[in-house]
Chain A
Amino acid sequence: MSVSIQGSANPMSDLLLQIVIYTLIWGSIYLLISLGFSLICGVLRIFHLGYGVIFVLAAYLTWTFMEDAGLGLVPSIILMILVQCAFALIVFYKGVFQRYLEEEEILLTVSLLVFLVIVHLANYLFPVTAGVSIPSTIIDDIVTIGGITIAWQMIIAALVGVVVTAIYVVALTRTRIGLVIRAISQNLPAALLMGANVNRMYYLAMILSVIPPTICMIMIAPFWGIDPFMGMPLLMTAMLVSILGGLGNLKGSIVASYLIGFIHASVSFVFVPRFMGFAALIVTLIVMIYRRGGIFAGETLW
């Protein structure tokens, strides 16, 4: 089902088209990667340095349920999401965040240590040679737009990113629960005075933060490549997006995701791909100099 959309033969316009397309695709995927991280930042006002665990668990739990328990892809994914939510609530929320909320340096360090435990455990159980892969390809084909070839799976992953973000934005801005979450994000004491059940909202935020990266991992698994240490670059991307956009601000995260997508695409296609991470960091630092607190420095969820 290979689709071809003819474009110009001009190399310059091809390059521009390539940058635009990959900015949109990568930006949407980065949005999916960073959405949960921003949500935790915005609601709990903490940095979830164990966020990378979600990606690792998503890949390896699905694989374990499929290979060892002999389940199909969909039941494995459903079971994996349940385990992910339980892990986020029991280990991270009850075990770390609630316990060390006032001792932030310990909170961050323990979150990071939990991440390291899971990463190394995954590496011990499933080393790279184990050949872990998730058959979550929806359309196994390519599309050619103006001379640029893209895998359908990338386009679908980008579309899913946009849809999931839109659902989250609508849920946070149009529903009563969203209103309470935003109130907690803006002013915790005031939200408590108004009768908000903060603890329940924190639980909800933890569960909501797990879903986008899990969906992201399932969508990108066919073309991203799975290894036990993949959580680190993904965590770094989420952190960069959050810092650039403004801690815990979803508007900022949306803008920053596409901005980082643009930086990565430009540097990759105009210069060399190996500099893209470095370039994004430099741009983030420059933005930080001129706009302390990122692009949307309000420190509210929306």
Chain B
Amino acid sequence: MVNFELRRDRIVARWRDKKTEWVIEPRYWRNSTIAITCLFILPLFLYGFPHILTMFTTANLYAAIAIPLALQLLGTGRVNFGPQLYLGVGGYTAALLNLHFGWNPAMTLMATILVCAAIALILSPTTWIAKGLYFSLITLILPLTFLDITYIWGDIFRGEVGLVGMSPLLAFKKVTWNYIAYYYLSLILMLLYLLVCDRTVRSRIGVSMAAVNENENVARMMGVRVDAYKVFFYVAPSILTGIVGWFIVHTFRTFAGVTYLPLEFMAKILIIVIIGGRAFLYGAIPGAYLISIVEDSLRRLGPVNYFVFPLILIALIVVLPRGEGLWGLYKKRRPRDYFPKLHVRRE
């Protein structure tokens, strides 16, 4: 028999000789648990609003791109301005293999991982070669070049129209169930990324990452294998981003480079990383939800939304605490252990 005892600041549950406490004073709430629970029960209330579920699915996917990017920014000590390159690589790999060779999603996932890993490995020496701004600029140009390629070889990539008709991950008879299923899948993917990245940052590896981000020479002197770290933290987040591309292909069943490769998409992801709190993994989630809600609300304005949206993003950057973003509104209660500085101009 479980006995519950209500105290002034907590609920105590006792079962035989075991005791569990749940602190109810707001500043000790397990906020992350509450937030995740809210995200899981959300579809119960939004069952009849598929467009809102799609919006939140998109938000989960934005966060799933922003979380590995935040990890990459710390691990490589460089600001990647083209994370969407691997979204394109992953998406097109999955879509082309599925359409032309009939590969099922499990096989396309393996291929996506392999192709993204191979390309990221080939490009990873840029983390050694390119200093600060050069790295940012090269990474900025790469997805735009890939976008060019999708136009050049329009017969393969279908340029502006994109590829359509890929096989779905799940197919329920009732359409609403599909929306709910994809919401949960995207949520699980995002939380999985958060868990992996959070564990990495909190581990001993995370300490080395912080050292690499702060000062490579000092990190090297302390015995950190800086070059290996930079390659690993360039390749691994790139693969995670590629998997999001694969997910998009098999969820929305359409993939066009013109949607995911241009600067607008990159700006969205960078804004999520910035307004969530500079390279803060948890911040990416409220950042992604905020951006997704703003973007979706503005669509009703028609063509005006194309320039109103970046204006609102600028306003968010100006209004929110500098560099700390949404996290800055929250940090008084929970000081952050390590607040990184992102180095763009580093020599």
Task: List chain A positions with a Cβ less than 8 A from chain B.
Answer: 45-47, 49, 103-110, 112-114, 116-121, 123-124, 232, 236, 239-240, 242-243, 247, 274-275, 277-278, 281, 285, 288-289, 292-294
The distance from the CB of B300 to the nearest CB of chain A, in whole angstroms, is 16
The distance from the CB of B74 to the nearest CB of chain A, in whole angstroms, is 12
Question: Across the interface, which residues of B come within 8 angstroms of A285, CB to CB?
Answer: 126, 138
The reply to whether the CB of B207 lies closer than 8 angstroms to some CB of chain A is no
Contact B138 A288 (CB under 8 A): yes
Question: Across the interface, which residues of B come within 8 angstroms of A47, CB to CB?
Answer: 133, 136-137, 344
CA of A294 to CA of B137, assembled, Å: 13
CA of A75 to CA of B339, assembled, Å: 52
Q: A105-B274, A277-B145, A278-B148 are in contact. Are A239 and B137 (CB under 8 A)?
A: yes
Stretch at the interface among B85-93, B228-236, B308-316: B308-316
The distance from the CB of A48 to the nearest CB of chain B, in whole angstroms, is 11
Pick the 4 closest A-B CB pairs, nearest first: A104-B344, A120-B307, A120-B306, A116-B310
Contact B141 A236 (CB under 8 A): yes
Contact A114 B307 (CB under 8 A): no
The distance from the CB of A135 to the nearest CB of chain B, in whole angstroms, is 28
Q: A106-B274, A236-B144 are in contact. Are A288 and B134 (CB under 8 A)?
A: yes
Question: Across the interface, which residues of B come within 8 angstroms of A117, CB to CB?
Answer: 307, 310-311, 314
The distance from the CB of B210 to the nearest CB of chain A, in whole angstroms, is 17
Task: List chain B positions with a Cβ less than 8 A from chain A.
Answer: 79, 81, 125-126, 129-131, 133-134, 136-138, 140-142, 144-145, 148-149, 151-152, 263-264, 267, 270-271, 274, 278, 303-304, 306-307, 310-311, 313-314, 317, 322-323, 342-345
CA of A37 to CA of B79, assembled, Å: 20
Cβ 8 A contact of A46, one of B129, B152, B264, B345: B345
Other contacts beyond A103-B322, A113-B317, A117-B311: 8, CB < 8 A:
A45-B345, A46-B345, A103-B323, A106-B322, A123-B306, A124-B303, A124-B306, A289-B125
The distance from the CB of A26 to the nearest CB of chain B, in whole angstroms, is 18
Contact A108 B344 (CB under 8 A): yes
Question: Across the interface, which residues of B come within 8 angstroms of A116, CB to CB?
Answer: 263-264, 267, 307, 310
Cβ 8 A contact of A113, one of B137, B141, B310: B310
Contact A232 B263 (CB under 8 A): yes
Closest to A247 in B: B133
Contact B141 A240 (CB under 8 A): yes
Contact B345 A108 (CB under 8 A): no
Q: What are 16 contact pairs spanning A and B, CB under 8 A?
A: A46-B345, A103-B323, A104-B344, A105-B274, A110-B314, A113-B267, A113-B310, A113-B311, A114-B310, A114-B314, A117-B310, A124-B304, A124-B307, A243-B138, A275-B152, A292-B129
CA of A124 to CA of B345, assembled, Å: 35
CA of A105 to CA of B74, assembled, Å: 13
Contact B314 A113 (CB under 8 A): yes
